[in-house]
Amino acid sequence: MAGVGKGWEGVVLRLLRGKDFTFTVTGAEDVTKHYRRVHVTDGGLLAAAGESLHPTMWVRLWFESAGKPHTRAFTLVDPDQAAGTFSLEFALHEGAASAWARDAKPGDTIEATVQGTGFTAPAPEPERLLVIGDPASVPAINSLLDAYPQTPATIWLETQHASDADLPVRLDPARHEIRRVGRAGSALVDLVKAQLPELVADPASAYVWLACDTETTRTLTAYLRKELALPKQRVNGLGYWRAA
C-alpha cells in the first residue's frame, strides 16, 4: 500500500536515520489456513544492505488502519541479493497487517522502513541453540537455523490453531527437536522453566534466542538472566507483539 503517511512514528524513524523502501508484490500463497506467504521485489533494500544482511533481519511495514498509519515488523524470508527478492510471512489474525496479506496480489506495493534490526553472532558459537517462539517468529527461527546448519537446536513453539502443526519450521530431524505448547495463559513460560534448565550445562556457553509476545519475552528474559545466570550476550530476546 504505497502512499501511506507515517505519522509521528515515521518522524521518529527518520530522526533515527531509518531508510525507506517500497516493495512490490509478485505473488502470494496460503501455507496454512492461518499462515500466508507474500513474495516481493525489494525496492533496492538488499543491495543497500550489502554485507550487513544478517539472520533474523527484519523491516517495518506500513499499513493503514482507520485512516491512521500502522507499522509492524516482519522478518525477511529467503532474501536473494542477486535477484533483489525475498518473501514475507504472516501469522493471520485480525488487524491491518493480516488484512493486507490476505488481499495481496501481484503489482500491489507496500512501504517499508529499515531501522533497529540487528544480530550479534554468539561467540563462541553455541553447542546447542535454545529457541523460544510462536507462529509470528517462525521466519526468524528459520533464518537462525539456516545460519547454523550444523548446530543442534531445541525449539519451544507456542501454537494456537490445529493448522499450526503444518507451520513451515525448517527442522532437520537429525539435529532439531521441537516442543509444541498450546497458547493458554502462562503455559509456554511454565514449560520453558521446567525443561530448559536441564539443557544448560554452563550458563556462559549457553545461547537462548526468543521472540514471543512482549510480556512472555520480558518474563523469560528476566528468568534466564536472573535465575539461570545467563550472561547478557547469551540471551537474545525480542517482543514481537502485545497480547490483547
pLDDT tens, residue by residue, 143-166: 999 999 999 999 999 999 999 999
- Beta pairing class for 153-159 and 129-133: parallel
Q: What is residue 107's three-state secondary structure?
A: coil
**Could you say which DSSP state residue 53 is in?**
-
pLDDT > 70: what percent of the chain?
91
User: Where do we find the cell 500491489?
Assistant: 108
**Domain residue ranges of the chain, discontinuous segments joined by +:** 7-114, 129-241
Q: Do domains 7-114 and 129-241 have the same CATH topology?
A: no
Residues 6+ apart with CB under 8 A from 184: none
User: Where do we find the cell 507456542?
Assistant: 158
Rg (CA), the chain: 18
pLDDT tens, residue by residue, 22-70: 999 999 999 999 999 999 999 999 999 998 899 999 999 999 888 888 8
Please state the rounded mean pLDDT for residues 3-14. Answer: 49
Helices 187-195/214-222 angle, 10° precision: 30
**Could you say which DSSP state residue 106 is in?**
T
Report residue 142 as a C-alpha cell.
Answer: 528459520
Which fold would CATH assign to domain 129-241? Answer: Rossmann fold (3.40.50)
Q: Containing H/E element for 100?
A: helix 96-103
pLDDT tens, residue by residue, 90-114: 999 989 999 999 999 999 999 999 9
Architecture in CATH of 7-114: Beta Barrel (2.40)
Give dist(CA 109, CA 86) in Å, integer: 14
Give dist(CA 52, CA 238) in Å, integer: 19
pLDDT greater than 90 at residue 199 = yes
How crowded is the C-beta side of 119, counted as CA atoms within 13 Å? Answer: 17
Please state the rounded mean pLDDT for residues 206-211. Answer: 94
Give dist(CA 24, CA 109) in Å, integer: 4
- Is cis: bond before 124, omega within 30 of 0? yes
Question: For the chain, what is the mean pLDDT?
Answer: 90
pLDDT bin (cut points 50, 70, 90) of residue 194 is very high
Plot region of 67 (φ>0 → left; ψ -120 to 50 → alpha; else → beta):
left
